[in-house]
Amino acid sequence: MIEKTVLSNGVRILTETLPEMHSVAIGIWIAAGSRHEQEHENGLAHFIEHMLFKGTARYSAADIARMVDAVGGVFNAFTAKEYTCLYIKVLHQHSARAMEVLCDIFFHSLFHEAEIEKERNVILQEISMVRDTPDDYIHDLLGHVYFGRHPLGRAILGNRKSVCAFSRQHIVDFYAREYLVPERIIIAAAGRIEHSRMLDWFGGRFEHLSGTAVPYRPAPPPRFKTVFYYRNLEQVHICFGIPGVSHQDPGRYAFAAANAILGGSMSSRLFQEIRENRGLAYAVYSCIASFHDAGVLCVYLGIPPAALPEALPIVQRELSRMCDEQVSVEELNTAKEQLKGNLLLGLESTDSRMSRLAKCELYYGMHLSVQEIIASIDALTAEDLQMLMRMLFDNGRYACVVLGPVKKDDAAAHALLTQ
The pairing of beta strand 236-243 with beta strand 84-91: unpaired
**Opening angle at CA 245, ends 32 and 271, nearest 5:** 110
Gyration radius (Cα) of the chain, Å? 23
d(CA 102, CA 132): 34
Q: For residues 96 and 197, is the Cβ–Cβ distance under 8 A? A: no
d(CA 57, CA 47): 19
From the list 49, 82, 318, 361, the catalytic residue is 49
Q: Residue 361 contacts by C-beta under 8 Å, 6 or more apart in sequence?
A: 4, 12, 14, 186, 188, 367
Q: For residues 79 and 45, is the Cβ–Cβ distance under 8 A? A: yes
Is 49 one of the annotated active-site residues of the chain? yes
Cβ-based burial of 158 (10 A; exposed 0-12, middle 13-18, buried ≥19): buried
d(CA 26, CA 5): 15
* HEC per residue, 140-161: HHHHHHHHCCCHHHCCCCCCHH
Catalytic residues: 49
